[in-house]
Chains A and B, each alone.
Chain A
Amino acid sequence: MAESTVNNMTIRLAGEAGQGVDTGGAGFAKALANAGLWVFTTSEFMSRIRGGLNFYQIRVADHPLYSHVEPVNLLLAFTEEAVSEYAGTVVPGGGVIYDQGLKVREEMVARNGVQAFPMPLVKIAQEVGGNRIMMNTAALGAAAGVVELPFEFIAEIIQRNFRRKGDAVAEANLKVAEAGYRYAREHYAAGFPWKLQPRKTSRPRLMMTGNQAIGLGALAAGCRFISAYPMTPASSIMEWIAAHGARYKVVVKQTEDEIAAITMAIGAAFMGARAMTATSGGGFSLMVEALGLAGMAEIPVVVVESQRPGPSTGMPTKTEQGDLLFVLHASQGEFPRIVLAPGTIEQCFWTMVRAFNLAEKYQCPVIVLTDNYMAFQARTVLRQDFDYTKVEIDRGALLTKEELEQMEGPYLRYKITESGISPRALPGHPKAVFQACSDEHDEYGHFEDEDAENRVKMQSKRMRKLRTALAEIRPPEVYGPEDPEVTFLTWGTTYGPVREAVDILNSQGVRARMLHFVDIWPFPVDAVLPLLERSGRLVAVENNGTGQFAHLLRAMTGREVDDRILRFDGRPLSPDYILRKFEEARIHA
């Protein structure tokens, strides 16, 4: 069955840092979203400010998208290196747009039936716009021309993006884009099969990135304090919240290091503000001791850990899911923590709302685990999926002024209870005089770091909170048929690639199913066991080299996976990659 060539393609912009790959790509994606199309973007950036080779990739369709795919239909190459590196990703019949002035051998592009679309982009920029810097605008116009997208959508986005820089700049860019559009349409559109046509949309859509959804979720949850230290890919969470800090009354503190970042958040949370920090694995390593402080002193703090490939500095601008077992075990001793790993933009938002509620209800650190792939991906989503009336704020057992006033006897901050949850009082009330303590302590909070009986009581009290929390831990999402022959076991940001791989397999007659975990710890054993009984062949799909979730599954259920599809080259899993590996395994099996 031939795939449709209308509203079903991937466009990749590639060039050096500083050439507008990112901003141009984002603008083009927005134009497509405005045309009523569903969009999914990913990008790959080198860890440098100028030069190098970066790409921004836009997948577009008539239906909601959950993942990127690897094959490219149209490549916009801003440098010779972009052509030579990425021409191989273009499918037969696809095209490569590049400036005539680049030293590109056409035969090299055309090797696999790919069409070369050389154009006078720089010349257009210079002659029409008066500045060669507008070359990327000409290229975007050209891309729209080749796919025959009505020019108005490009015009609109140029007006919007360049308005800040003044009418003259906007006008010049508009003319350049139009010239590029016309040139491409006249010369190459007829021979290019993939087309983009605007669609009417009934339900309003939004376009946002993973990190924006995390920031938005934090604000919706009433987060009032973020202290963090910049680290890719987490930095834009703090930056996004900072841009809204004054208006939404959030204290944003860039700290001297990640130790200060988490400890400041702990101080703010101790006082009663909803507080968070965000970092990547390296920064999280520095936070480890203080994570245990939050565990011992029972402070509700939310930590976003946006993973990148380690060890050590690793690959700063690439992606990996290599920190799962680390965050599950980080810090000495045993204490309750909750670990959540959202898989979609929507889940990033709702997971943050839940994270703040769970942190306060169970008075413990909550770790939200994402990665570079999620941080930078942008997707069109339905506005109705961000319905604020569904945001519930639950501060857990928090004593009101009245309750404190009526309290007989002294307030016991660490009162031993059946649930393990000791009602919390915020400092500042005459009755709320207590000590939060990192040493083992008694119910008041006084040091009691010798007594064996007290130790057992307090440690058991804290750990009971996990058991209590388990009641609201969600089972994995089951996607796919009832009686699968194969089940892909996955977690966190791999949701989209695995879901789409499952769709493709089912369309090919393979009964494939996905089990996707957002809630990872406490581990929902009871919900998982029956699902494993009807799994068929169980295949772990993870963006790491050892299958960390498969380890966890084995530890918690005794079930060993039958196979693993793993990736640790710094690149995200994709449906194509998963299917390739699945095929290879079937052949070898």
Chain B
Amino acid sequence: MLDVKIYNSPVKPTWCPGCGDYGILNAVKAALAQLEILPHEVAIFTGIGCGSKLPDYMTVTAFTTIHGRPIPVATGAKLANPKMHILVVAGDGDTYGIGANHFIQALRRNPDITLIVENNMVYGLTKGQYAPTSQKGMVTSTTPEGAIEVALNPLAMAITGGATFVARGFSGDPKHLAWLIAEAIKHKGFSLVDVLQPCVVYNKVQTYDFYRERVYKLEEEGWDPADRKAAWEKAHEWGDRIPIGIFYRVEGEPTYEDQVPALREGALTTQPVGLDPQAFEALLNEFA
């Protein structure tokens, strides 16, 4: 167990007081400390949004990319250097809206990447428009009469799409969340931790109290995460009771990078740049 202080940053968070992102930040640090992953052994990729500022408040290798694109950037990074631990931390708009196609593709590719979604069911940074995960009827600045679409169900999508680890946490319970994130990082393959994250400014429905009254822990009810079909059904439970914990987990599926022939001899980044002259002549011979 490392001291979480090694991840501290001189930068003070700009999040609103009480924002659910604080709990996620603490949980990420705690999970890394627990797994004894040093700041240079992990790279955190984010998009743009309130939650995407998370690594700025840490000392860790990080890349703040653009809105919606942290997943492909992280995938490229993983393929270049599979030895690094790779985390993606991004908002629900980032992941399930503008970047949704990348999310779907990552599910079936199964790179060894952990995706943590700060799901506040609203667009925080742009001041309160509705998000793909906003519940039907949610009133926001762009849906004054209530959102018309049905909310996107990320967990069911992930299970359907081929994810090998699917979990949900609650930022109001950072200890439990840290455990989930650690399990996700330990999992070899693509892991999703969707986090219920209250936005205290723009989401007046899904508040801390709303969740505290409803969430329960799957592992406390003897949930078996090996059953994919049951997990998919469980992913639809949303009402008086809201499950958190590991919905689905399957071990032993090959990762994308494990199956790339070019990576058989290790990370691209540790190999010399350029060709062996004989290999080059062999290439020229193809044109002779």
Contacts and interface: CB of A to CB of B under 8 A. Distances in A.
A220 B66 contact: no
A507 interface: no
Nearest to B266: A249
A219 interface: yes
A388 B69 contact: no
23 contacts: A225-B76, A225-B268, A245-B261, A245-B262, A248-B279, A251-B260, A257-B101, A259-B69, A260-B69, A263-B73, A267-B63, A267-B77, A269-B80, A273-B268, A275-B76, A388-B280, A426-B269, A427-B77, A427-B81, A436-B64, A437-B64, A438-B66, A446-B11
B186 interface: no
Contacts of B73: 263-264, 266-267, 270
Given A433-B40, A433-B60, A255 B77 contact: no
A493 interface: no
Contacts of B74: 267
B60 A224 contact: no
Contacts of B63: 267, 270, 297, 435-437
Interface in A364-420: 383, 386, 388-389, 391, 393, 395
B141 interface: no
The 10 closest A-B pairs by CB, nearest first: A267-B76, A264-B76, A222-B273, A246-B261, A267-B73, A271-B80, A206-B287, A268-B80, A267-B77, A272-B269
A431 B45 CA distance: 19
A289 to B, nearest CB: 6
Given A225-B76, A273-B80, A293-B66, A432 B288 contact: no
B105 to A, nearest CB: 5
Given A222-B274, A225-B76, A447 B11 contact: yes
A204 B288 contact: yes
B66 A206 contact: no
Q: Is the interface of A mostly helix, strand, loop or mixed?
A: mixed
Given A267-B77, A272-B81, A427 B61 contact: yes
Contacts of A447: 11, 53, 56, 64
A433 B61 contact: yes
A425 to B, nearest CB: 10
Nearest to B64: A437
Contacts of A446: 9, 11, 56
A54 interface: no
A212 interface: yes
Given A208-B287, A255-B72, A446-B11, A435 B62 contact: yes
Interface in B24-74: 38-41, 43, 45, 48, 53, 55-56, 59-66, 68-69, 72-74
Chain B, interface residues (CB within 8 Å), range: 35 or more
B261 A206 contact: no
Nearest to B38: A430
B262 A267 contact: no
B281 interface: yes
B287 A207 contact: yes
Given A263-B73, A429-B40, A447-B11, A224 B62 contact: no
Contacts of A259: 68-69, 72, 102
B262 A250 contact: yes
Contact of A263 (B48, B72, B265): B72
B283 interface: yes
Given A219-B280, A259-B72, 13 more contacts: A220-B280, A224-B80, A224-B273, A251-B80, A263-B76, A266-B65, A271-B269, A293-B65, A297-B63, A297-B65, A388-B275, A436-B63, A436-B64
Interface of B: 9, 11, 38-41, 43, 45, 48, 53, 55-56, 59-66, 68-69, 72-81, 83-84, 101-102, 104-105, 260-263, 265, 268-269, 271-275, 277, 279-281, 283-284, 287-288
A149 interface: no
Contacts of A290: 66, 69
Given A224-B271, A264-B76, A271-B81, A383 B288 contact: yes
A267 B261 CA distance: 19
A253 interface: yes
Given A263-B72, A270-B77, A393-B273, A438 B64 contact: yes
B93 to A, nearest CB: 16
Contacts of B283: 216, 219, 244, 248
A251 B274 contact: no
Contact of A251 (B9, B68, B263): B263
A320 to B, nearest CB: 27
Interface in A247-292: 247-253, 255-257, 259-260, 263-275, 289-290
Most buried by A among B41, B76, B269: B76
Contacts of B56: 435, 446-447
Contacts of B288: 204-206, 383
Contacts of A247: 279
A257 B105 CA distance: 11
A346 B236 CA distance: 59
Contact of A395 (B48, B77, B273): B273
A225 B284 contact: no
A434 interface: yes
Contacts of B80: 224-225, 251, 267-273, 275
A75 to B, nearest CB: 28
B200 to A, nearest CB: 21
A97 B284 CA distance: 35
B275 to A, nearest CB: 6
Interface in A193-249: 204-208, 212, 216, 219-222, 224-225, 227, 244-249
Contacts of A272: 80-81, 268-269
Nearest to A222: B273
Most buried by A among B80, B105, B268, B279: B80
B40 A430 contact: yes
Contact of B277 (A246, A257, A388, A435): A388
A252 B102 CA distance: 17
A428 B81 contact: yes
Contacts of A152: none
A439 interface: yes
Contacts of A246: 261-262
B48 to A, nearest CB: 7
B262 A260 contact: no
A322 B84 CA distance: 42
A483 B9 CA distance: 65
A438 B73 CA distance: 12
Contacts of B11: 446-447
Contacts of B84: 271, 427-428
A435 B72 contact: no
Nearest to A426: B269
Interface in A541-583: none
Contacts of B279: 247-248
A435 B56 CA distance: 8
Given A249-B268, A267-B80, A383-B288, A256 B101 contact: yes
A398 to B, nearest CB: 10
Contacts of B261: 245-246
Contact of B77 (A222, A244, A271, A386): A271
Given A220-B280, A244-B283, A264 B75 contact: yes
B175 to A, nearest CB: 26
Contact of A289 (B66, B102, B273): B66
A274 B77 contact: no
A27 to B, nearest CB: 15
Contacts of A221: 274
B111 to A, nearest CB: 11
Contacts of A383: 284, 288
B274 A391 contact: yes
Nearest to B283: A216
B211 to A, nearest CB: 29
Nearest to B47: A438
